[in-house]
Structure 1
Amino acid sequence: MDLGLVGNCSVAGLIDPHGSLNWFCLPRFDGDPVFHALLGSGPDHPDDGAFKIEMEELHEASQSYLPNTAILRTVLRGSGGAVEITDFCPRFEAFGRRFRPRMFVRQIRPLEGWPRIRIKVRPRFEYGARKPFVTTGSNHLRFVGENEVLRLTSDAPLDHVQSEQLIHLDRPYTFILGPDETLSDAPGATGDRFFAETRAYWEGWSQRLAVPFEWQDAVIRAAIALKLCNYEQTGAIVAAMTTSLPEAPHSGRNWDYRFCWVRDAFFTVRALNSLAATRTLENYFHWLMNVVSDAKGGHIQPVLGIGLERRLTEWQADHLSGFMGMGPVRVGNQAHEHFQHDTYGNVILGAAPAFFDRRLRMNIGPHAFEMLEPLGEQAWALHTEPDAGIWELRTRSRIHTSSSLMCWAACDRLAKIAGCLAIPDRARFWRDRADTIKARILSEAWSDKRQAFVESFGGETLDASVLLMGEVNFLPASDDRFKLTVDALSRSLGRGAFMLRYEEADDFGVPEVGFNVCAFWRVDALARIGRKDEARELFGELLNARNGLGLMSEDTAFDTGIGWGNFPQTYSMVGIINGAMRLSRSWEAEL
């Protein structure tokens, strides 16, 4: 996906290579996409749902981030000259607290010549169904819907903005899009101040990252993208910023990922923690413990809303045709109804670092451990029960190896937490249960026929998720069964640097594209078993599958290298960080 991400941990937008804001949801990541052109517009108004700066006789467009920031710069060149567009969402410290308003700032200025541009601002409400009523003030436009009001404040000539007239750009213009509130200063002065302080914030945040010696730019960009997926109001981490970008052309695999999967979030906080970005872990821990409290020892959904919403009822937004006409556009996600037994392990894995990391400013102790123990009981009770599995199959259930593996991880980490808290009887209790689950997995999930750990107990098909055995330290890298599994998965699921998720057809047929995180899992596994040169080669090829801004989708078509699926996918960005941290040459060896 050739898109750039801007955001501030309250809202986020996606911008195409020509500088069009074509995805921006309010009042938060999972809200109404007031700019939705990414997923289509009405046939009579193809430019609706976008904020565009169009150049007359455009010849060339280029894009880049200001280094180590979430500020995006687009340059358009045409016969009349060149224009620079700078886009960001304000984020900085003000009055002793974090300032991250639901706001998007766009600054445009002439670079060369006397270019002519057309400004088009066409939001719509209710997933494209409702055109706003527009009112005009001295320096602002108000876009009014039935339940929403969006204000655009600018020092640009608003008559020309409304009429979409071609005009010469002879001076800078600032556009501030956000709540229906009056600015305390002129748009240009406000935009300049917000830009300077936002730039300083991100440069300071990036400077504190504990980056590896190699691939620093890739790691910093991945870290910023992951940070932007954290909704700081609650601590939730969304799997991606989008809904319904198809996993493969015309596949129907169009899902809404603007929610918090405890599985994905665990890997995100672990990756950021490895870079010393601990604040996200603190925020997520609070969100997670609210989930635990709400469950009262019972069932925990694999996915919840970013405000802890449980009902994510799935429906289709029929006014939108879908990405490149490939509908449907789905809102909500049926996975909230699923039973996925790996959930309990992922919750405990996500919470466990808080008990060991002395950098955190939290009072974590026996009470929090006691809150987690009922999840361990659930994991113990369910480790040999069928479920929908990590890939959220909608029409069948099995005893999935990856689910049982995470049930083991739940008991294993509880044993370690109890040891850290000096509660030896509970440490022994959970260690005994972890050992029992481990023995069952080793017995039931190994296939002599395939010479590998397989997708489900007693099964014969392969699934890349068993590579998580390495990631959660279930088996030592020296174990021959793990090595054989890596080889078997590479032969069966590998497609060059990429990997399929599994062999068997699912609800929509046989998978057609590589699932990026599986490829990164293989890189990690190869490095663990000592095949580091091979891992480095594959990792380099995977980095080449990023878009020009260093961001990555959920999937990659292994025959064309084109990215598919929701964007940017946290799992994929996590893979970049983990791969670089594991494979990089050390600072000490190089300096």
Structure 2
Amino acid sequence: MTETAIADHGMIGDLQTTALVTTDGSIDWFCCPRFDSPSVFAALLDDGKGGRFRIRPTGTAFTAKQMYLPDTAVLVTRFFTAEGLGQVVDFMPPAGDAATDSHRIVRIVQCVRGRMSFEVEVAPRFDYGRQPHRAEVTENGAVFSANGTTLTLHRVYETGEEARARSGVEDGDLHATLELSAGELRGVVLESDADGPPRQIRVAEIKRLVDETQRYWESWLANSTYTGRWREMINRSAITLKLMTYAPTGGIVAAPTAALPEQVGGERNWDYRYTWVRDASFSVHALIRLGMVDEAGQFGSWLGDRIRERMGSDSGPLNIMYRIDGSSDLKEDTLDQWGGYRGSAPVRIGNGAAEQLQLDIYGEALDSIYAGVRAGLPLPYRGWKAICGMLDWLVEHWDQPEEGIWETRGGRKPFTYGRLMSWVAFDRGVRLATQHGLPADVERWTVERDQIYRQVMERGFSDKRRAFVQHYDTEVLDSALLRMPTVGFIDGRDPQWLSTLRAMDEELVTDSLVYRYDPEASPDGLRGSEGTFSLCTFAYVDALTRAGRLQDARRALEKMFTYANHVGLYSEEIALTGEQIGNFPQAFTHLALIDAALTLDAALDARARAKA
């Protein structure tokens, strides 16, 4: 297999789906018309069978570099050759708030200096490569179709250049060349579900489209209130989270990819193209801290709809994850015809963990709602009624074994993190009711909150380890508990917390990178190992900050920045070699980056003021 490394990608998107673009100009991941739709290009998971859309220099050695236009999701891939300098500008114009099957990938091809010859390859593989397709080339482009699905390729041109483009079809794939001189611009627009045949698009129209897309992102990012030390990393993370938001519903996917391995060659290959209540709640909370509250309002509406749908259900008011439209059919399957990223099989689509019992999600949901209300968002009575129903259910169900935050497949346990976040759920519910005069059984919620607190302090803390542990029946450490001071359960300088942090330093931390837990000491029902978990590394920065270890926190944060890819994106994990592994880019990682940087920024500023 010759798949490009996970980190060697930038991402573009239109707020309904995304595409990954390699540093050599290939789109090797694109699902259409939604994040969770079947793939059209997926060479990332199988170089030979997945399909791609590539534009790169023809028949010559080149060096490639990639960048985003500042404060945008417009990606530029630059090619340096002996004959000249060229570039491909990739973007997707925002698709709007109404769900649509029509999406456009715009690829502007330019020669900046000298002369450049570009090769264009459009090789779609519809429905994860399971549907054969046919291609029809016209004077103005091409149409690829399979089982009622169409992709239309429109040509971008300037008068007098047509003769210098050559194209042909081989086995249903389009191959073309573009010959350009310095200052010349051409390109293509790939459109799904187009309302007409291929057409020639004038350069002026494309320039207007890129200007509009650039202004959209600059305008959106201008809502951020962050002015601290790490603006470039924070802004890129914010844009990344926004790109993973499905505008029609407000659902946020955990990642836009599926089956990228947590261990190359292993079986921990999950589909993340869905909305986890946990991940989305964390994302919203991070955006709120940047002053971006619209996304919180959208997600609050989405979450309220999910709760109301399941009120009275024996299995609880929420699933742990949903499709982006709110449906809950996530049946897990495998694509046996694909070899997987660098031979990492099985290639999974769907997610069998969807119906697990994970009690922490209620705390994360309530914490994000509470943050939204504090930021000025309204809490309608209909929404409050749904919250009350959710908490009343939790009263009867929090004290039971569950699968836990890491979605282990080794059986239910009394996980400490699940109890911690159940405490958060009751605490935020009580605060909302008392601070806003809302009707609720506050006394009952308070009793449950305090009972959880006592239970965690008495059973979740191991005197032998001098640390809070993964669950009540083990001595294993778990870095999910790094959030204990973040959510206000314990002070960051409390002796029990400081001893927990020291224990994690010794067992879970390696050169500032943090493992989730030791799978050998706590079997999770899966073979193989995994890398350090980037969410946990940023949570470690936050915990160090709250413990007063500001120098250690800043060092860990700056080290973690060196693991970002060339355009500031992170996958789920970091392998022993330093390469990024797991689904990419991951919302968990980018939201944790924002949280950690903001917490550390505030602490550094406070220290500076104290010294002044």
Q: Do the structures match in fold with TM over 0.5? A: yes
Counterpart of 2:416 (choices 401, 408, 423) is: 401
Q: Is 1:479 aligned to 2:494, yes or no?
A: yes
Instruction: Give me the identity figure in percent.
Output: 31
Amino acid at match of 2:21: I
Query: Contact (CA 8 Å) 1:84, 1:111: kept in 2 or not?
Result: yes
SS of residue paired to 1:160: strand
TM-fit CA distance, 1:97: 9.6
Is the CA contact 1:470–1:525 (under 8 Å) kept in the aligned structure 2? yes
* 1:469, distance to aligned residue in structure 2 (A): 1.0
**CA 54–507 in structure 1, closer or farther in 2 if over 3 Å, else same:** farther
The 8 Å contact of residues 379 and 408 in structure 1, kept in 2 or not, is answered as no
Match of 2:3 in 1: none
Contact preservation (8 Å) 2:53, 2:120? no
**1:463 aligned to which of 456, 473, 478:** 478
Structure-2 separation of matches of 1:580 and 1:475: 21
Shift of the 587–99 alpha-carbon distance from structure 1 to 2, 3 Å rule, reads: farther
Per the alignment, residue 4 of structure 2 pairs with: none
Structure 2 residue matching 1:155: 3-state secondary structure: strand
> How far did residue 186 of structure 1 move?
2.6
Aligned match of 1:178: 191
- Gapped regions of structure 1 (runs ≥ 5): none
**Cross-structure match for 1:19:** 25
Q: Which residue does the alignment assign to 1:114?
A: 115
Q: Please tell me whether the aligned partners of residues 127 and 319 of structure 1 are also in contact (alpha carbons under 8 angstroms).
A: no
User: How many residues align structurally?
Assistant: 582
Superposed displacement of residue 512, structure 1: 3.4
The residue type paired with residue 154 of structure 1 is: R
SS at 1:393 equivalent = coil
Partner of 1:205: 220
**Structure-2 separation of matches of 1:347 and 1:575:** 16
**Displacement of 1:429 after TM fit?**
3.2
Shift of residue 187, structure 1, vs aligned partner: 4.4
Aligned to 1:72: 75
Deviation at residue 449 of structure 1 after TM alignment: 0.5
Cross-structure match for 2:593: 576
Partner of 1:511: 529
> 1:418 offset after TM fit, Å?
0.2
- How far apart in 2 are the matches of 1:295 and 1:268? 23
Structure 2 residue 268 is the aligned partner of structure 1 residue 253: yes
Distance change >3 Å, CA 82–CA 336, structure 1 → 2: same
1:40 to 37, 46, 66: 46
Contact preservation (8 Å) 2:156, 2:200: no
Deviation digits for residues 255-276 of structure 1 (CA, Å, limit 9, x no counterpart): 0000011111111001111111
Instruction: State the secondary structure of the residue aligned to 1:471.
Output: coil
Q: Is the 8 A contact 2:137 2:168 kept in 1?
A: no
Normalising by structure 2, report the TM-score.
0.90
The residue aligned with 1:499 is 514
Return closer, same or farther for 1:437/1:14 CA change in 2, 3 Å cut-off. Answer: same
Gaps of 5+ in 2: 1-6
Please tell me the root mean square deviation across aligned C-alpha atoms, in Å.
2.4
Alpha-carbon deviations, 1:189-223, whole Å to 9, x = none? 33211100111111122222112420110000000
User: Retained in 2: the 8 A contact 1:288–1:351?
Assistant: no
4+ long deviations beyond 4 Å: 96-101, 156-159, 587-591
Task: Give the drift of 1:568.
Answer: 0.4
The structure 2 residue matched to 1:548, chosen from 556, 559, 566, is 566
| CA shift for structure 1 position 510 | 6.0
What's the CA shift for 1:425? 6.3
C-alpha separation in 1, matches of 2:528 and 2:559:
24
In 2, distance between residues paired with 1:342 and 1:14?
Answer: 32
Shift of 1:11: 1.7
Shift of 1:239: 0.3
SS at 2:187's partner residue?
strand
Query: 2:393, 2:495 → 1: CA distance?
Result: 31
Pairwise CA distance, 1:416:
0.6
Query: Counterpart of 1:114 in 2: which secondary structure?
Result: strand
Deviates more, 1:166-175 or 1:309-318: 166-175
Matched residues in 2 for 1:579 and 1:351: separation?
20
Q: 1:112 to 1:353 in 2, by over 3 A?
A: same
Q: Which amino acid aligns with 2:584?
A: F
Post-superposition shift, 1:573?
0.6
Question: Matches of 1:166 and 1:123 in 2, distance apart?
Answer: 18
CA distances 1:330-359 after superposition (whole Å, capped 9, x unpaired): 11000112111112222222322333322x
Aligned residue in 1 for 2:251: 236
Query: How far did residue 410 of structure 1 move?
Result: 1.0
Q: In the aligned structure 1, how far is the partner of 2:224 from the partner of 2:489?
A: 29
Shift in Å at residue 531 of structure 1?
0.6
Paired amino acid for 1:388? E
Query: In the TM superposition, what are the counterparts of 1:339-488 in structure 2 within 5 Å?
Result: 339-358=357-376, 360=377, 363-423=378-438, 426-488=441-503
3-state secondary structure, aligned to 1:406: helix
